[in-house]
Amino acid sequence: MAAYITGLSYLARGESWQGIASRWPLLLLLAPLAVTVMIISHRDAISWIASAILLAWMLWYLRGMVDRVVQPIGKSVAGLLAGIVLVDWAAVPRMADEFNLVFIGLFFLALILQRKIPAT
């Protein structure tokens, strides 16, 4: 989680800049996903699904950095801030079904609140 927040912070620092953002924060953003997949050997199916959702979410918001296209970094930062809940969800190897619903609910709550309160 610390690596994700650090990468997100470095990405957010460039929010006011015009042009193409640096790619190196991608390594920090992807670190929690790589660690959970490599380290936690006893994962259930929901944990793998959470990791896949996290990866898809990050790729969606980071596609401009990968393609080296000029895009507003603020939109990427806002999406990645909501993705913090997904990072937490993917990091938990096994849990009761009720907790899965809590993570999903918190994720959608973050998205809804971002419509009312600017994330950045």
Domain chopping of the chain, boundaries? 2-116
| Over residues 64-78, mean pLDDT | 70
Task: Assess whether pLDDT exceeds 80 at residue 28.
Answer: yes
Spatial separation of the C-alpha atoms in residues 64 and 67, rounded to whole Å:
5
Supply the pLDDT for residue 107: 94
Supply the pLDDT for residue 29: 92
Any idea what DSSP says for residue 106?
Answer: H
Tell me which residue has tokens 């980071």: 62
Are the C-beta atoms of 58 and 80 separated by less than 8 Å?
yes
Strands (E), the chain: none
Any idea what DSSP says for residue 21?
Answer: P
* Mean per-residue pLDDT over the chain, rounded: 83
Indicate the pLDDT class of residue 21, thresholds 50, 70 and 90: low
The residue type of 17 is W
Task: Assess whether pLDDT exceeds 80 at residue 104.
Answer: yes
| Over residues 7-23, mean pLDDT | 71
